[in-house]
Each structure stands twice: as C-alpha cells, then as structure tokens.
Structure 1
C-alpha cells in the first residue's frame, strides 16, 4: 500500500495524546503546519522543535505505507504491514528490507537495536520477535508464540500492544490482557500472575524510573521484573485522570502522564497526580500517547476522527509548561518518535519537526 496524500485516512483506535485545523497542503511535500496555536502553560519549548511541522510527500518518495515509528542510533525506522522505511532527518525516507513481521506489532529501541514483535503473516499466525541493527537492511527473526512447540513452555500467543525494555528484560503487554517477558528476546515466559489481574486488554505499557507500568482502562499495574504484577493506586486531583491514564513517561525527575481526554499531569510517586495542562473538551478516547526524547516530551492523539482534535501536538521541555501546535493539513498521528534534534511522526502522511 502506498501513501494516499489526497485524503485523511480514517482511524478509530490505535496505540497509544491531544482540534481540527489547517496547516500547509500535504500535497506540496514542503508544507508547514501553523505556528504555535496556543500556549497551555508558560512559555514551554520556545526554542525547541515541535512548534512547526512539515508534511512529507510519501507518494513522491514512493514510500510503502507505515503507521508506527521508532528512533535509535540516529535513525527513524517506520514499520507497517511487513514493510520498513528509514530516515535520518525525518524529511527524506527510503524503503528498506522487510523484517518478516506483519501487523499487530510493538516496537522498542534497546541494546543498540530496534526490536519488534508482530505476526508472521502465515496461516499459523505465530508471533515473531525481530531485531535489526537499526539500518533496517537485515533482520534476525525468532518465532516466540508457536503453541505447538513444547520448548516454548506453552507461551500464550499474545496480541502485541506495547513492548518496553528495562532492568535487563523485555516486557510485552497485549491487547488481549496477556503479558510475557524475556531476558534476551529469544526465550520468553508468561508473567506469573497476569491472569489474576483479570484484565480484558492493555492499552499501553512503559518502563519508567526502574519499573514496568501497564494501563488498562481505569487501572494501572506495576512490576519490577515484568513477571509479578500488582495494581497501582492512582489518586487524581478532580481533573486528572478522566477515565484512566493512556500513557506515561518518567522525565525531569517526575512521572508525566496523559489521560483519555488529553489532560496532562505530573506525579512524584506515580500515585498522586496534579494536572498541568488541560486537553480536549470532547468525548474521551483511549488513543492518547506520550513520548520522550531529545530533551523534551510530546503528547499526541492517535484516535482523532471522532473528536476533531487529532491534529494538535502538545510539547514540553520540562514536563510542566506545555505548548500545542497543529500539524499540516489536518493531519493526525498514529505514532511519533523524537530524535536528538528532530521529531518524526506518521498519520495520513509522514510529518517532521526540527530546529
């Protein structure tokens, strides 16, 4: 599938923060989003990237379709339906070798490589772990979910939602409420008490300040090793959270999270939260995400068409003061990644922002 740059694609819910408007034309390839559309609190990232965004003409660059992007070792890697694209500047992209992993994948950067889990695309619909030395030209693939193979210790066939790395372990949480972990990306184990949590499906997962966190609607769960989990108490301030956290990062010595209505809050202990930025005023959608990198945070809304505000991106240098800006042509983000001096995202077209 090639990019369609004549219409905004429709999306209901993807992964895992924040109303309609216009910037430049996505057809021009060099169109920029409007300048800062409103300061939420203080001056925020006045001299940082994130204020102005540019649309990439994916059709002109003959890019394969991708809807998830991650950054590591100076390269953005985009993945979609078994296809891979890379860019060093967020503006110029090229198609590279397929990893063999198809839909339903989760991405993370760790140990100098990009790792992802997804479906093999075969009739058996196994789960595959793939790793790349970041250039996307070669991949190491390992089947991790073949229930017919007794050596895999009856590993549950997880529907991937989010993968994190920390404390020497990969942890994968699933849309189906399952959790698996691995020390090397090859040998995987089911979390000891995941079934006891009685979670229908996880919306997000992250590694923050030495612990793994996973969110499921109104509840948040925490683990130090990815194997044993417990419910995390959440105390809000009346505004945050609305119907649950939809993403979390640890940044500048504090926890920063976004909720289903696009509100952003801080916490010193991941339990007690105080709102620092108000989000949208429409219906809650569990499509918000918050990402960190390049000395700043960005919150995006990847479930925008029902609320007409998915073309806003919130950004902050300190996690306390936030600004928001619109992206080109009413675009919206499936996924966003932040590099050292550049941020890149993908929605109806790829977009980027730099100094």
Structure 2
C-alpha cells in the first residue's frame, strides 16, 4: 500500500511526500510523490501515527448507557470500538474500575463482562483498534485487592492506576468540594451525605495504605506499568514515586506536575481540559502545564474525539512553544513508549502501519481515513 500526496508528521518535522507499507509495517517514506498508479491520494492532508489512548472509561458508557440499563456485551464492545477507531485511536487501554462501588455497584457487576468482551473480541479479530486493559484501582475498598489479584495476570493488562477519591484526598482535598460533587451526583440530602462521608473516611483509613502497598508490590514484581492519580502535593508525588509509579495521571496542581517531572514521572493530562480551556473540576489547566513544558501525554478520558482536537490546538497556540510533531507525540509516541510499546506511535521504517489521515478545510480538523496494521478500517 502506498499513500501519496500527504504531509507526513514525523518525530521532529513535517515533510510533504508519500509513504509505503507492506504486511502491516511501514517500509519506506519519501519527500517525493509516488508515480505508481495504485497509490492512494491523500489530497494534501496530514498523515500521522495512529493515536494511543492510556485512560478512557468510554467502554463503561456502552455497557451501562443509562442507570439500571444492562446492554448486551457484543453490541457494547463493537459500538465502543467503532467510536474509538473513528477518533483516530488505533491502540486503546480500556480503563476498568476495580473496587469502585460508588455508582450503585454496576462497575463491579460489569467488570468480568467487560474484560471478557475485550478478550473475546481481540481473540477473534472483531476489533478494528487494538484493545488492552487498564485497571483503575480504587484503594479505599475491601474488595479492591482480591479483585486485582484475580485480574493481574491477564495478558492484556498494560497499566494500573492507584486512585483514592475519598474525602480529603487528592482531587478532593477540600471537603466542601467533595460534598458538592457527590451530593449532587447521587442526589443526597445532608443527612445521607454525612453518613456516606463517614463511611468513605472509615474505608479509606482501613484500606487505602495497605492496598496501595500490596498492589504496587505486585506491579513491581510483574513489571506492570504503574500510574498515580490526582496527585495534588509534593508529598503525594513522593509517595507515588516511592511505590514505583512512572506516569502521573491528572495531577491537580502545578506543584504536583512539576514534582512529578522532577522525579521522572511522565505527566498525563486530559485532552478535554485542552479543548474546553480548563478543568471542569477547577484544577490546574493542561494548557498552562503545556506552556511551562510540564506535559508529556494527553488522554481523551471521557471524550475520545478530544485527542486529535487537543493536539492540533496546542500546535497552533501562539503562547505555547510546541510545534505539530511535538504536539502529536503527546497522543502517539509518548503514551506508547510509557507502557513499553516501541513498535508504534511514530512514522518510521519498521514501525507498525497504524496511520491517520487528517484534513483541515477550515479551522476544525477531522479524520478522513484510519489504517490499523496497514489495513484501512475507517
């Protein structure tokens, strides 16, 4: 296969030319057009590597599209995969909550069903994107460690994150902020919220520390990449570094992001934060971190299409010293390398032909075609 008449987004530059691949591998690229009649005409669009998503709970939405609605696994998985590939994501880590029972237990009920759907669809070649597993471990629960130990040897497991959403922790250092969020989310009155808060504090006091230590020990033993989550202070980052975290997911302050970078953790922020112009939770803006050189990876989190949009927004922001190759690396090379996938994420000879053709007729970028291992899937 040859793709002609494109602007190739390479690791350090953008060049106009053509690209060839065979058996799912990039075999060559050139700064000249191909003369072969069978070449695909890219019509002057950008050709970039397929995007790599490390943290999205998008799958959860398809399994439970509404409260108390349990959707069939095959339909849920195929619909999720279609949205992922249409967003230009060719490798995705589907984030599954372990021990998080705050949403009425549906995540626990769906846990095995979702993991089995990922495994079955990958085994039988039903997916267009490559789906891997990210376990989001909610530390303040007695069920978290037993569930993790059942799942930690799953061959698809590529990332584990340690989360603590209890009152007074990380994202919810402010108890008022915690009460406002959960009181609104679960429509609790003051009495119900008081009881819920007391229960969460009790669980956190009993389980957060031992679960953090046990799960991180397993990850170190089995060489599973580990991520922190919502670190807010220098001390939080010290703790995360101490247990072996290599990725800092969604630090809530510049202090935590800067400390993470100084301690060798790659800083991951939400692409929706870039698109919306700030955090919906009032935390540090991803754009501000990018402007200070403190951003390594973008995640679509809850909105898959935000990855491409965010990368191009950063590249065209006059106040951020980031060219298009550097911005694209935030959603391709950097997340891939963070979990040890060095066979993808860049346009280079010998790498996987996971590719996205992007056009921008006006200000908005859109995806025209996607190839996974050299096969057109969108």
Q: Normalising by the residue count of structure 2, what TM-score does the alignment of the two structures yield?
A: 0.28
Q: Which has the higher helix share?
A: 2
Q: Normalising by the residue count of structure 1, what TM-score does the alignment of the two structures yield?
A: 0.30
